[in-house]
Amino acid sequence: MLIPQLANLRIAQFIQKKFGLSDDQVYNNIQKYGNTTAASIPIALTEAWEKGKIKEGDTVVLAAFGSGFTWGSCIVKW
């Protein structure tokens, strides 16, 4: 599961397409809340887990991009 923090849905869809990921492999809630900046990943991660989209043993990639050239990511074994 990829959970990105991005400024808009278009960027998330571009990344999904570049990596060849299905809709089930990406969780994005920007259309529901807009860009919540630093809270984007924790909110999306919680929602994905509560909806059963992330289960024990799953691999979850969290990726954030900030203004300028800042970015960070991590891989979590749930």
Q: Residue 71: pLDDT above 90?
A: no
Q: What are phi and psi of 48, to 5 degrees?
A: -60, -45
State residue 31's pLDDT score.
86
> Which residues lie across from 65 on neighbouring strands?
71
Domain of 24?
2-77
Q: What is the pLDDT of residues 14-53, one digit of tens each?
A: 889 999 999 999 998 988 888 888 899 999 999 999 999 9
DSSP-derived secondary structure letter, 7:
S
Q: Are 3 and 41 in contact (CB under 8 A)?
A: yes
Q: Give Cα 1 distance to the centre of its chain.
A: 8
pLDDT band at 76 (very low <50, low <70, confident <90, very high): very high
CATH number where 26 lies? 3.40.47.10
State residue 6's pLDDT score.
75
How many domains are there within the chain? 1
Over range 49-74, report the average pLDDT.
90
From CA 54, how far away is CA 59, in angstroms rounded?
8
pTM score, two decimals? 0.84
- Six-digit token pair at 30? 């920007």
